[in-house]
Amino acid sequence: MGGASRKSGAATGISIART
């Protein structure tokens, strides 16, 4: 969990923030 987590976290954070 590091690079992938950061990419996934960023995408999820943007998706949730966009909702």
Mean pLDDT, the chain, whole residue set: 61
Question: Which of the four pLDDT bands, split at 50, 70 and 90, describes residue 1?
Answer: very low
Mean pLDDT, range 1-19, rounded to an integer: 61
Confidence at residue 18, expressed as pLDDT on a 0 to 100 scale: 63
If one compares 12 and 4, the residue with the highest pLDDT of the two is 12
Residues 1-13 as b/e (b if ≥16 CB within 10 A, e otherwise) read eeeeeeeeeeeee
Q: Is 7's pLDDT higher than 50?
A: yes
Using CA atoms, how far apart are residues 19 and 3, in angstroms rounded to an integer? 24
Dihedral of CA atoms 11, 15, 18, 19 in degrees, nearest 10, equals: -170
CA atoms within 13 A on the CB side of 18: 6
